[in-house]
Amino acid sequence: MKFVDKLLTATRQNNSLLCVGLDPEPARFPAPLLREAVEHAIVRFCWTIIEATAPYVCAFKPNMAFFEVLGPDGLHALQEVIKAIPTHIPIIIDAKRGDIGNTARNYASTLFNVYGADAATVNPYLGYDSIAPFLAYQDKGIILLCRTSNPGASDFQGLLVQDSEGQTRPLYEVVAHRIQSWNTAGNCGLVVGATCPHELRMLRALCPTMPILIPGVGVQGGDLCEAVTAGIDAHGERAIISVSRSVLYASNDEDYAVAAANEAKLLRDRINEARHGK
């Protein structure tokens, strides 16, 4: 099944645009888990979060950095965590890979063939040849950084540049136009932060049918309602609202699974209020 079809199926089945990011930080785990080996604690924590929140999500998003930091044990933990994600829910691996030639081919193969991701975040700023090996996986989602949620995004992404037609546009808009031209298989998406709702609204108008992964709600300061109304398509779909810490660490006590489920349901319901009230 193609990524977009799997995403829409999960969205409709769970009535959800919520994506829970899996960013395990052992120092924030409940005390009983701290008595286990770190790899085992991460797997147990993520398994519990997945089981508790699966009814309320359209996707899960493991972040490679939180697993890679532990070396081989962390990568083994990532594989175990991925196995626990229900097969009908898309797996978006947040890797932000981007490189040339054989390197990009190996990155793509790792994410899609080794880890079995349905989609991956990719950095487009090295140009088409760095993206082509990912695009070759036509049933996978290639979600490209466009206007990110971090404070330093404006250092480069907001610079005014001339496009191929001589018009002056912000760099992120030129990137979005270029991604549209690469989207021949319909497997591209954008990463656009909730911290920039005006740009999100403009990019949704520019790319009306692409999935948009929207991080930055909550801890980073993005407004949930604004992000939803700016990011959804004409059918109230194809926006992937990514939330990590407020769900994962809703409690640092033994009730963390119940707290995570309650927070995920609350967010799912708030998102639905916003998207149906548009």
Q: What DSSP state is assigned to residue 91?
A: B
Q: Are 194 and 226 in contact (CB under 8 A)?
A: yes
Handedness of CA 205, 89, 217, 261 (dihedral sign): positive
Please calculate the CA angle 192-194-195 and round it to the nearest 5 degrees: 105
CA angle at residue 268 from 236 to 148, to 5 degrees?
70
DSSP state at residue 150: S
As a whole number of angstroms, the distance between CA 263 and CA 268 comes to: 8
Residue 211 and residue 186: Cα distance in Å, rounded? 10
Q: Which residues pair with 189 in a beta bridge?
A: 143
- If you search the block for the tokens 């044990």, which residue do you land on? 73
Catalytic-role residue among 2, 6, 61, 96: 96
Burial (CB < 10 A; 0-12, 13-18, 19+), residue 190, is buried
Handedness of CA 249, 251, 253, 256 (dihedral sign): negative
- The span from the CA of 251 to the CA of 30, in Å, is 8
- Render 220-239 in DSSP notation, one character per residue: T-B-HHHHHHHH--TTS-SE
Active site residue 96: yes
Read out DSSP for 41-68?
HHHHHHHHHHHHHGGG-SEEEEBHHHHH
DSSP-derived 3-state class of residue 255? coil
Catalytic residues: 96
